[in-house]
Amino acid sequence: MVQITLPDGSLREFPGPVTVAEVAASIGAGLAKAALGGKVDGQLVDASFSMSANAKLSIITAKDPEGLELIRHSSAHLLAYAVKSLFPDAQVTIGPVIDNGFYYDFSYSRPFTPEDLMAIERQMVALAAKDEPVVRRVLPRDEAVAFFKGLGEHYKAEIIDAIPAGEQVSLYREGEFEDLCRGPHVPSTGKLKHFKLMKVAGAYWRGDSKNEMLQRVYGTAWASKEDLQLYLTRLEEAEKRDHRKLGRELDLFHIDEHAPGLVFWHPKGWTVWQTVEQFMRQVYRDSGYQEVKGPQLLDKTLWEKTGHWDKYRDNMFTTESEKRDYALKPMNCPGHILIFKQGMKSYRDLPLRYGEFGQCHRNEPSGGLHGIMRVRGFTQDDGHIFCTENQILPECDDFTKVLKKVYADFGFHDILYKVSTRPAARIGSDALWDKAEKALMDSLRHSGCEFVISEGDGAFYGPKIEYTLKDAIGREWQCGTIQVDFNLSERLDAEYVAEDGSRQRPVILHRAIVGSMERFIGILVEQHAGALPTWLAPVQISVLNITDAQADYCREIAAKLQKSVSNQGLRVDLDLRNEKITYKIREHSLQKLPYILVAGDKEKAAGTVAVRARGNKDLGVMSIDAFIELIAADIASKA
């Protein structure tokens, strides 16, 4: 007798071994049809998996996250099946699940074309319609090697050959195609209905540039037609919001082949940068930070003391002068510690908060560079708080409150909180790590923030909180962080005089809110699809004349606007070109300006302007003073 315990605690008894599919069928025909696999004592298995002893079982359907993983994994194999049926000479390699989909790498004599991709997708649809069973079998390693060599699948044979001798490997067959795989898979190809192939890219075998360049076919798969369509719509929206495309169209910045991974900021883009930086600078002043500035180049011996040289050397740009080795700083922390060490500090000086808009350089691989989101040179709104152990909780608590307010001002209200704990390779004692991790979690609880724990993802010198934003189309961006560090003050011999006269090491809190300024501005551009809120827009108003007769009047308007709004002035563009007014309005609308002011003879005579807001909204005719009140309220609201 085999007893199966279901998630609701109910028991089902069977006279002998029973498969997941059979248990599903015993519950109901609907569940039997929907079952994609099972979770037996916590392990994901095929629907054909047989249980010969008492077990806990969850039936997995497309509604479960694991079910979606099964669909995507099986879709990758369906892709390989389709490729092999259309291109028998192609060799298959690997096909894992990735975020939102899957890919499969192939070796073939020529590049796949867009027409090939369409044909492969059609073949996948035809094979899925055949509803062929997906059947698992197990072979000894050597037999499996011989089997794939006999098929001419040398990449598969190479993969299996790396498995220790004497072990067994599992293979899955669907129709005429059989592939190496640990599994599990859906029961039949008919379960795969909602997929789409996306693109083809190059990928080296085993990720080594010395090996053959393979063809990587990417696809996406979902549990329902609606989910697939939502994803494709989201991709279309993301493409419209692509900061690289908008950066060109709005004349904000560019990336040049003469400086890969570095950003050339144009006047409009630099205006956005300065607006963000000056806003953040005021936030830090209001929060008690003193601004500092450290050098770009620091001696190798400093990086050796901190531990960065051993763990981060390959990502550092280095140079040599007068037989001394230097590195461009990849982070600002050591420089801030050296500033702290100048002059003896007392417990009365703590917490001491240093802030810097510090430029850093990291030697990122060229394949990982992405517009201004991932670069080699970037500026952090970096800060370090030197404090006592008793001050960790209030400092972390205050930081989270300020961060939430800043993100709301930039239009982000949905924040995810994650505590990353000690990694395997780390410095410092377990006792110190215990203290640091507890302090971070307590601070979030105190701030009323729900959080998840990410085991082992902390920095080598301390745990951290990661603050992740959700943007307008649901994408997640990790930006802010605060890290508790008991170690670097020891390594760089930083100390303060405690109340009892003893010398103590300060705790160092590493923190940033926007993180990389470049990346954050890229996120803002995509969040707002280039239509930045009025307070951030590089040009807030364009003043347009209808004929030359209003040119002087428009100049007076522009001059008044540039001196208004609490003496900070507005960012105004004056367009007096001899072009049709409809042409000029359309051109400035495409630049996503918040406001366009138009003046003709009637407006000039009355001392007014016709106001158009972004989105082709006609706000009517108003006086200059009334418009200034309107835009001042708009800027103040940060809407």
In which residue are the tokens 């152990």 written? 389
Query: Which amino acid, one-letter code, is at 558?
Result: A
Find the helix packing angle between 551-562 and 624-637, rounded to 10°. Answer: 40
Instruction: Give the catalytic positions in this structure.
Output: 333, 362, 380, 382, 384, 464, 510
**Exposed/middle/buried for 371, CB within 10 Å: 0-12, 13-18, 19+?**
buried
Coil, helix or strand for 366?
A: helix
3-state secondary structure of 604: helix
Residue 56 backbone dihedrals phi, psi, to 5 degrees: -95, 130
**What amino acid is encoded at 383 in this protein?**
G
Burial letters 156-190, b for 16+ CB under 10 A, else e = bbebbeeeeeeeebebbbbeebbbbbebbbbbbbe
Distance CA 521, CA 239 (A): 17
Encode 61-75: b = buried (16+ Cβ within 10 Å), e = exposed. bbebebbbbbbbbbb
DSSP three-state, residue 593? coil
Closest CA to 96 of 38, 208, 194, 180: 180
CA–CA separation, 599 and 620 (whole Å) = 12
Query: Rounded CA gap, 373 and 522, in Å?
Result: 6
Beta bridge partners of 387: 507
Task: Check if the beta carbon of residue 436 is closer than 8 Å to that of residue 486.
Answer: yes
Amino acid at 129: A
Instruction: Please choose, from the candidates 149, 151, 139, the residue with its C-alpha nearest in 3D space to the C-alpha of residue 84.
Output: 151
H helix or E strand, kind and range, residue 349: none
> Which helix (H) or strand (E) segment is 605 a member of?
helix 601-606
Beta bridge partners of 133: 188
Please tell me the distance from the alpha carbon of residue 464 to that of residue 445, in angstroms, as a whole number: 15
Please tell me whether residue 555 adopts helix, strand or coil conformation.
helix
Instruction: Supply the DSSP string of 93-151, one letter for each residue.
Output: ----EETTEEEEEEE-SSPPPHHHHHHHHHHHHHHHHTT-BEEEEEEEHHHHHHHHHHT
User: Residue 259: which of 377, 151, 350, 157 has the closest Cα?
Assistant: 377
Q: How many CB atoms lie within 10 A of CB 139?
A: 17
